[in-house]
């Protein structure tokens, strides 16, 4: 009979079908959209233009040319609030991001742990129940983690923690953000 272990945050996240670092768009509030991808442009007044795409999550912003103040809408422009009011409603999230070198060191340690779990036929407890850790699972997670390492090298940010919570993860890449200029 194997040992019983509790899954770590990364393995559990992957196990739950989200991949090694599943995308949870924690930065949606700050997103502006690239004008080349824009399918709809709405002129609010002579002083401003707001652009969005058909697949927008509804959050957009603009800077009023006259006052210089920024405004945000969460409902595709039906209502607007000042940037200050929006930011007070949605305080900034504190992310701790893996560096390539840190993740590489972590991955080498994790490979050993996962292989040991497969070799010892470890029983793993999750909120979904208990199951036997296999070599197939070890290989699957190592492949996913190695892909994450490659993605980090290409600029993907993978969080170690979100507001200090190591069980919550998110990813971000600068290619996912664009802006419009008039």
Q: 135-153 vs 100-119: helix axis angle to the nearest 10?
A: 180
Give the tokens for residue 85.
Answer: 């009011």
At 174, the pLDDT band (50, 70, 90 cuts) reads confident
pLDDT in tens, 81-116: 999 999 888 888 888 889 999 999 999 999 999 999
The rounded distance, in Å, linking the Cα atoms of 53 and 71 is 18
The rounded distance, in Å, linking the Cα atoms of 139 and 130 is 19
The rounded distance, in Å, linking the Cα atoms of 154 and 176 is 13
pLDDT in tens, 43-74: 444 444 444 444 556 788 889 899 999 999 98
């Amino acid at each position: 009979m194997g040992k019983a272990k509790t899954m770590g945050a990364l393995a559990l996240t992957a196990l739950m079908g989200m991949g090694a670092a599943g995308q949870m768009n924690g930065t949606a509030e700050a997103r502006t959209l690239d004008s080349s991808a824009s399918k709809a442009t709405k002129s609010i007044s002579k002083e401003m233009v707001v652009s969005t795409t058909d697949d927008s999550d509804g959050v957009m912003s603009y800077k009023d040319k006259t006052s210089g103040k920024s405004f945000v809408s969460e409902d595709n422009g039906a209502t607007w609030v000042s940037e200050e009011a929006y930011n007070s409603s949605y305080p900034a999230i504190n992310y701790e991001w893996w560096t390539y070198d840190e993740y590489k060191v972590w991955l080498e340690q994790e490979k050993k742990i996962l292989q040991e779990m497969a070799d010892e036929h470890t029983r793993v407890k999750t909120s979904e129940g208990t199951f036997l850790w296999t070599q197939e699972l070890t290989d699957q997670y190592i492949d996913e983690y190695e892909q994450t390492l490659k993605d980090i090298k290409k600029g993907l940010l993978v969080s170690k923690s979100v507001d200090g919570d190591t069980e919550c993860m998110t990813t971000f890449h600068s290619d996912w953000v664009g802006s419009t200029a008039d």
